[in-house]
Structure 1
Amino acid sequence: MNPKTHFRLTVLHVVVLAMLLVLLGRLWNLQVINGEHYRDVAAQNRIREIVVPATRGMILDSSGRALVRNRAALVVSVDRTVLSRQDDGGKAVLGRLAATLGTTRAELEKRIRLCSPTVKRPCWPGSPYQPIPVADRVDPKQALQIMERAEEYPGVIAAVQAVREYPRPEGAVAAQTLGYLQPITQEEMDERRGLKVTGYSGVDLIGRDGLEAQYDTDLRGQPGVREVLVDSQGRVTGTAREQAPVPGSSLVTSLDARIQAAAEQAIKNAVDKARKAGSKADSGAAVVMDARTGRVVALASYPSYDPSIWIGGISQAEYEGLLGRSQGQPLISRAIQGQFPPASTFKISSVAAAVADGYPLNGTYPCPGSYRVGNREFRNFEGQAHGSMTLHRALVVSCDTIFYKFAYEQWLRDGGLKPARKPKDPMATMARNFGFGSRTGVDLPSEAEGRIPDRTWKREYWQATKDDTCKAAKNGYKDLERTAPSRAAYLKAIAKEHCAEGFVWRPGDAANFSIGQGDVLVTPLQLARAYAAVANGGKLVVPRVGLAVIRPDGTVVRHIEPPEPERLPVDGKVLAYMRRALADVTTNGTAAGAFNGFDLKKVHVAGKTGTAEVYGKEDTAWFASFAPARNPRFVVVAMISQAGTGGTYAAPAVREIYEAMYGLNGKKAALVNGDLPNRLPRVRPDGTVAVPTGTAP
């Protein structure tokens, strides 16, 4: 054999042998060293994991009436991932689906596109990797057609699912308190690191507001997982493993549907009445609370909306309507997020502050028509003089000038324009003791803090707004100068003063503070909490809406107990004095007209009217109350923005609520013997609820 040929054959043998060794080594690696890993990968290629959503728990009132529940619905969903793999991007499938559902392909394409700052609703705000519902009220014949002809609808799923339903028991809506659901986004999935860590999956709807958000973990349950076998074409050939979902627990609240409905109707009636009289009356709120425990019985906010608007997708126009000012921003709860000057309802704090600062509780004080504070006259409502009177009478007739005197003298003692290093600020200190200027701690998200202004706040505010104020003082109000020159000149003068020394806490600031005007802002819930403290003898309760969490089998997961209340640093004699004074407001005071004909012998309502003047707007009407006056159980507060006087608009609304609660004026009583249920409703395994009997202690 030719040596050259022999060499070539030798090299060839070596190469072949090396290739065989490499192949054997690779096989050893695949089958022995990494065999288990690749067996798992191969199994995953033929197994698909499907997340099965859990049925969300109900939200019930204290008697077991469903405020939110579920209904079984045929839902058609579209898998974007499957459609994207088709040659035409799924257009043909969407066309056939649109014809089946009686809609258009364009409409379906809108529903499955992903939401972004540049994409208007309808769109999909959730994860792009989960099936997207496009119809939740499908006729069974339509669903059957889709299921029987699955090969014509690849990527389309028709299945029975639980869909949120809002039955409105007794006519109650409580939209802002209940909140709403939206799909979990991919960003949220990434933050929570998925199902294995937190129980969240791509098919989850999560609470975005209200009780749905606050108690989301309890309500949503745990999704199940179904592993199915598929062939090379993606067709399901069997089931490998199935883990059933765990239904969510139901939330029992302290809300009473009848009282909630009455509060909503009363606020609407007051708004309608004010509008008929020519007022703007743009919003309102009402709070009903157990004065002893802080349990919230009703939270009404106007304008409201139908929460079912979120089901099945929401259009851009509907979404903007919930947030837009043109429709009154109905998504906002005025009861816990609305901030308004409280006017004379604030005087319970000012009386306590004055007495704590040394003014005699049983003293007599002059109530002239006006009182000079610094270089400015501050007037009573309509300039009316009442002569000398006690603090009791000052609350009954709502004398302002007595409180101007207190505030001005306290301001002077603190050093006036040259304050002491650590001024006492008796009015502001007492207001904070009553819980104003801080959140109440209610178990609802996005609660507002309100505002208690003082020297520190005013300086900080001035520093934050100084540039804009100085600019307005120099070049502002050009358009107004042409239409209303005197008003423009006034505003420029104010801006100039604020630019130069807007940080100064002036005597007028102190005077306005004492009657709940100026820069003082409170929420209706804060005011209800403060009046509860007066009514119950000094306990500053923490409001609670949630009462208990109950599993689907009826067992109680936990009772939701309010935190221990703080003690109001006000002498019990002062609180008792104010309770007696407030009891006279409805008999011979500023609310006597509103309660004319009301059966005060059966339920004596004590309260205080308030009429807040707001620059550039109409007056805000308030009435804060508790009842029965001698043994207070409930606090009811009503606020109507841009309506008029508290005695004309807010007090009648509160009267309506009490009539519904106690069954007066021909109405059916919402309360049994004047009390709330003392037992939890029983949730049965089939989802029905047994209404409790008995009354609360």
Structure 2
Amino acid sequence: MNPRTHFRLVVLYVLVAALLLVLVGRMWTLQVLEGAHYRGIAAQNRTRDIVVPATRGMILDDRGVPLVRNRSALVVSVDRTTLSRQKDGGKTVLRRLAAVLGTSNDEISKRIRLCGPGIKRPCWPGSPYQPIPVEDHVDAKRALQIMERQEDFPGVTAQVQAVRDYPQPDAARPAQVLGYLQPVTQEELDKRTGLKVTGYSGVDLVGRDGLEAQYDAALRGEPGFRKVLVDSQGRVTGTAEDQQPISGSNLVTSIDAGVQGAAETALKHAIDGARKAGRPADAGGAVVMDVQTGRLVAMASYPTYDPGIWTGGISQDEYDALLGKKQGEPLISRVTQGQFAPGSTFKISSVSAAVKDGNSLHGTYDCPGSYNVGNRAFRNFEGEALGPMNLHTALVKSCDTIFYRFAYQEWQRDGGMKPKKNPSDPMVKMARNYGFGAKTGVDLPSESDGRIPDRTWKKDFWEVTRAGNCKGAKEGYPEVAKTDPARAAYLKAVATENCTEGFVWRPGDAANFSVGQGDVLVTPLQLARAYAAMANGGRLLTPRLGVAIVRADGTVVRRIEAPPPKKLPVDTKVLTYIRTALADVPKSGTASGAFSGFDFKRVDVGGKTGTAEVYGKQDTSWFASFGPVKKPRFAVVAMVSQGGQGAQTSAPAVREIWEAMYGTKDKKPILKDGKLPSDLPKMPGEGAAP
């Protein structure tokens, strides 16, 4: 063997020896150093992690009657991930499933597609890695067909699950208060830690509105965890680990189902009556509040809807109807999100401001048919002149011109068109003290602020709208002029004024403000809160719906308390004077017709009508009340958009609510001795009937 060949063999032996050493070393690393790690990976290849959703807690009224509960249903779900691994993308499986369920392949395909821009419902708004329910009313026979033939239905499951049920006790259907559930999104899942969600997990739902969203964490509970063994075809062969879920707690609310049902019925009666009289009456709200605690007893909103529509998926037509103006946007709560000019119900704030500003509480003031504010005459309602009167009568008869005078004189003292450096603006400040222009802090999401306009707001609004106003001042409104020349001329004049000096707080702004008109906007809840503060002696309470979080066995997890109340900067003598005046409104004032024949001995009610003008629409109808007058316990407010005069539409609705709560000679009262339950109710069993 020549030297060159020998050298080559040596090099080959060295390379082979080196490769063997590397191989042995790698085997030692895999089996010894990293053995535990790879044994875990191997185990994972034959196991699947399953998230077991917890049973969601119920939402109860103040007596323990379920407003929202659960019912068991056989739910068929489809796993998109498993279907995607099929040769045909799962089309064959879906055709088989459609045949079993008695539906079309197209319908199932729509239900499992992901929602996105341009995608109409039904579609899946949750995580793409969650099982997607396609049928929640399947019978046991069809469910067995699916589960016994898993080889024909890979990625399809049929399980008994708890779904939300809305029993509507005493005809109570506070949909906007309760809220609704929707599948968890992938973004939300990504934020969660601890449990690995796979295609075998249950459907996780979260609250999207109302109490379901506000108290979601307590209601949802804690999901369980199950690690199951599977064979090569993904069939479950056993359980490796099992951690049971912890059911969600129940939420006890201050809503009384009886009063809630009565409020919804009264509001519907008022709207139907207004429509029969030829008024649009397109929306409304009613609220009952405990003036001593701030607890909300009833919150009715119209139009409303059946919250059960969300269960099992929602069609595009149904979804559009909930959001569309054609159906009145029923998802919106008119109590907490609806913003309307309050009209004369606002005068409790204006009286308080006028007296605090130096006007005599017991003085006599003239009530002419009109009052000149600057160079413009502001008229009383229907131009009626009522002559000299005190503030008591001004509230009972609802004289506007007295309040115009107060506002105009205050505006002049502040410097008029050239205000002094720190204008007092007493009516604006008092309105804010009554809680207007800010969220009440109620334990519901998406509450509106309302609007209390002032000099700063006027300037900011002018800057935003100046370009449009100046364009209208220059070009006019030719399209409007084709059908309504007078309106087009009016709009051009307004645009010209707003373009040049729209930032100025004019005397008309102050005058309109004093009677709850112009740019003033409030929610029915804000008005109820203000009347509660007036009735209870000056404590501005934070409204609350939640009373306690309670486990199914009755254990109290926590009681839900409201923040300490604020104090109204109004003398108690002034508040007493206002209450005494408002007590006469239903007896001899503007609401006397609506309360004719009312049993004031059973419950003495005081209140104030409000009729707010809205440009281009019919008047907004209001009635705000409190009672019993001597020992106030409740504030009841009703509002109907485009409902006409307060005395004609809203006052009868409020009367109906009071009579339901306290009864009449022909009807038993909902409240026993005019009181609500003082203790927490006993917990009903899951799925208990109301």
Structural mapping, 1:10-159, within 5 Å: 10-159=10-159
Check the 8 A contact 2:476/2:489 in 1, yes or no. Answer: no
Shift in alpha-carbon separation, 1:161–1:152, aligned structure 2, 3 A: same
In the alignment, the residues of structure 2 paired with residue 102 and residue 477 of structure 1 have an alpha-carbon distance, to the nearest angstrom, of: 58
Superposition deviation, residue 563 in structure 1: 1.3
Check the 8 A contact 1:64/1:689 in 2, yes or no. Answer: no
SS in 1 for 2:151: helix
Superposition deviation, residue 570 in structure 1: 0.3
Superposition deviation, residue 195 in structure 1: 4.1
Which amino acid is the alignment partner of residue 687 of structure 1?
E
Q: How many equivalent pairs are there?
A: 687
* Deviations 1:643-695 (CA, angstroms, capped at 9, x unpaired): 100000000000010111111252331111110011111115x436799xxxx
Superposition deviation, residue 191 in structure 1: 3.6
- Give the aligned partner of residue 330 of structure 2: 330
Which amino acid is the alignment partner of residue 307 of structure 1?
P
* Deviations 1:111-140 (CA, angstroms, capped at 9, x unpaired): 000000121110000000010000000111
Which amino acid is the alignment partner of residue 644 of structure 2?
G
Q: Does 1:490 align with 2:490?
A: yes
**Percent same amino acid among aligned pairs?**
70
Check the 8 A contact 2:71/2:687 in 1, yes or no. Answer: no
Which amino acid is the alignment partner of residue 318 of structure 2?
E
* Deviations 1:169-225 (CA, angstroms, capped at 9, x unpaired): 11110000000000011122224456489xxx8832000000000000000001101
Structural mapping, 1:186-585, within 5 Å: 186-193=186-193, 195=195, 203-585=203-585
Superposition deviation, residue 472 in structure 1: 2.0
* Deviations 1:410-440 (CA, angstroms, capped at 9, x unpaired): 0000000000000000000000000000010
Structural mapping, 1:681-692, within 5 Å: 681-683=681-683, 686-687=685-686
In the alignment, the residues of structure 1 paired with residue 196 and residue 56 of structure 2 have an alpha-carbon distance, to the nearest angstrom, of: 19
* Deviations 1:286-313 (CA, angstroms, capped at 9, x unpaired): 0100000000000000000000010011
Which amino acid is the alignment partner of residue 285 of structure 1?
G
In the alignment, the residues of structure 2 paired with residue 61 and residue 196 of structure 1 have an alpha-carbon distance, to the nearest angstrom, of: 36
Check the 8 A contact 1:682/1:690 in 2, yes or no. Answer: no
In the alignment, the residues of structure 2 paired with residue 557 and residue 191 of structure 1 have an alpha-carbon distance, to the nearest angstrom, of: 26
Shift in alpha-carbon separation, 1:326–1:569, aligned structure 2, 3 A: same
Unaligned runs of 5+ in 1: 692-697
Which amino acid is the alignment partner of residue 280 of structure 2?
K
SS in 1 for 2:647: helix
Which amino acid is the alignment partner of residue 361 of structure 1?
L
Shift in alpha-carbon separation, 1:688–1:124, aligned structure 2, 3 A: closer
Superposition deviation, residue 553 in structure 1: 1.9
Check the 8 A contact 1:229/1:239 in 2, yes or no. Answer: yes
Check the 8 A contact 1:683/1:690 in 2, yes or no. Answer: no
* Deviations 1:433-467 (CA, angstroms, capped at 9, x unpaired): 00000010000000000000011110010011111
In the alignment, the residues of structure 2 paired with residue 559 and residue 323 of structure 1 have an alpha-carbon distance, to the nearest angstrom, of: 35
Which amino acid is the alignment partner of residue 49 of structure 1?
D
SS in 2 for 1:646: coil
Check the 8 A contact 1:184/1:202 in 2, yes or no. Answer: no
666-675 vs 495-504, which deviates more? 666-675
Normalising by the residue count of structure 1, what TM-score does the alignment of the two structures yield? 0.97
Superposition deviation, residue 371 in structure 1: 0.6
* Deviations 1:137-169 (CA, angstroms, capped at 9, x unpaired): 011111111111111111100000000000001
- Give the aligned partner of residue 646 of structure 2: 646
Shift in alpha-carbon separation, 1:102–1:539, aligned structure 2, 3 A: same
Detail structure 1 runs of 4+ shifted over 3 Å in the superposition: 1-5, 191-197, 688-691
* Deviations 1:230-263 (CA, angstroms, capped at 9, x unpaired): 1222221210000000000000000000110111
In the alignment, the residues of structure 2 paired with residue 195 and residue 249 of structure 1 have an alpha-carbon distance, to the nearest angstrom, of: 21
* Deviations 1:271-328 (CA, angstroms, capped at 9, x unpaired): 1111111111100000100000000000000000000010011111111110110000
- Give the aligned partner of residue 666 of structure 1: 666
* Deviations 1:328-364 (CA, angstroms, capped at 9, x unpaired): 0000000000000000000000000000000000000
SS in 2 for 1:44: helix
SS in 1 for 2:649: helix
Check the 8 A contact 1:189/1:202 in 2, yes or no. Answer: no
In the alignment, the residues of structure 1 paired with residue 175 and residue 655 of structure 2 have an alpha-carbon distance, to the nearest angstrom, of: 23
In the alignment, the residues of structure 2 paired with residue 379 and residue 169 of structure 1 have an alpha-carbon distance, to the nearest angstrom, of: 47
Check the 8 A contact 2:353/2:430 in 1, yes or no. Answer: yes
In the alignment, the residues of structure 2 paired with residue 544 and residue 170 of structure 1 have an alpha-carbon distance, to the nearest angstrom, of: 22
Which amino acid is the alignment partner of residue 189 of structure 1?
L
Which amino acid is the alignment partner of residue 661 of structure 2?
M
Which amino acid is the alignment partner of residue 311 of structure 1?
T
Normalising by the residue count of structure 2, what TM-score does the alignment of the two structures yield? 0.98
SS in 2 for 1:683: coil
In the alignment, the residues of structure 1 paired with residue 4 and residue 579 of structure 2 have an alpha-carbon distance, to the nearest angstrom, of: 120
Which amino acid is the alignment partner of residue 132 of structure 1?
I
Unaligned runs of 5+ in 2: none
Shift in alpha-carbon separation, 1:205–1:279, aligned structure 2, 3 A: same
Check the 8 A contact 1:682/1:689 in 2, yes or no. Answer: no
SS in 2 for 1:520: coil
